[in-house]
Amino acid sequence: MTLTCRFRRAFITATCRSFILLIGIGMIWAVIKYMKYRWYKEEEETRQMYDMIVKIIDVLRSHNEACQENKELQPYMPIPHVRDSLIAPKDRKKMEKVWKRSVDFLAANESRVCTETRRIGGADFLVWKWIQPSASCDKMLLMPSKVWQGQAFHLDRRNSPPNSLTPCLKIRNMFDPVMEIGDHWHLAIQEAILEKCNDNEGIVHIAVDKNSREGCVYVKCLSPEYAGKAFKALHGSWFDGKLVTVKYLRLDRYHHRFPQAIACSAPLKPSNTHMNSMSHLRLRTGTANNQGNS
């Protein structure tokens, strides 16, 4: 075989192998991108579901309060009516999956919302009815706000990433800026987070976005492992009557927004040992224990 033929064969072989390698790399890259896209879509749908649940509960609470003032009102609301009042007609197809997940979540996890079948206008409808808390719950509701009120659901693969992604977190629904009073209310929010994560020695920076309509608080930890621990402590908790949700935030984006956090390395701790924001949970645990012993 001549030198030219050998060179040509070697060139063709190298070209084919390079082409196959590029195809393999391209396929791996496509799979990674697709997995990231699916994870992002799942996270977005889960966030939308939690937001929808908060809106549904607000509607049912408001209707229940109206029923207390006007005895002529029916104490229940047709589920389709609630949906139509919260989702614009043009968005109903797009939000169909989010709505279904919200309905299923309330049926499985929210004891204050009762689902019944009622005959309205000659047709049977599924309706929601807000159940008044018991006397013991009323005492809890009279307690000062800014307290943790229990876990809404257990974390699983659908609502919790398997691994800690970054050392930074974005927490939603910690407050309503319209309802807050005074100049230092944000300190109570920070204190509540530190008390809920009392066993976490990796929180080094907390920032409350006081103008956020979503009630956002940002947290930086020493490592992704500490952030994962905070995620599990906070995500899916009830706080001050709101369902708290958490997502991971990239470190570079966090530092771009809060450059002062770059130098933060000292772990933050609650300012005292009273753990005021956890008092609701302690009272509820004590009540449950007393009922169990009786």
Residue 8 scores a pLDDT above 90: no
pLDDT tens string 38-81? 888 888 888 888 889 889 988 998 999 899 889 889 999 999 99
Where in the chain does DSSP place strands (E)? 77-78, 113-120, 123-130, 148-151, 168-172, 203-208, 217-221, 237-239, 242-243, 245-249
Q: Is 12 helix (H, G, I), strand (E, B) or coil?
A: helix
pLDDT attached to residue 181: 79
Domains identified in the chain and CATH numbers: 3-130 (1.10.10.1180), 148-263 (3.30.70.330)
Percent of the chain with pLDDT over 90: 51
* Confidence band of 133 (pLDDT split at 50, 70, 90): low
Residue at token pair 């309330």: 106
pLDDT attached to residue 234: 94
pLDDT tens string 188-234? 999 999 999 999 999 999 999 999 989 999 999 999 999 999 999 99
Whole-model pTM: value is 0.55
pLDDT attached to residue 151: 82
Contact 54, 243 (CB under 8 A): yes
Residue of 278, 294, 283, 282 whose CA lies nearest to 136 = 283
pLDDT attached to residue 99: 95
Q: Round to whole Å and give the CA distance between 187 and 57.
A: 27
Token reading at 293: 């012993």
* Confidence band of 140 (pLDDT split at 50, 70, 90): very low
pLDDT attached to residue 41: 84
Mean residue pLDDT of the chain comes to 85
Q: Round to whole Å and give the CA distance between 266 and 253.
A: 21
pLDDT attached to residue 29: 94
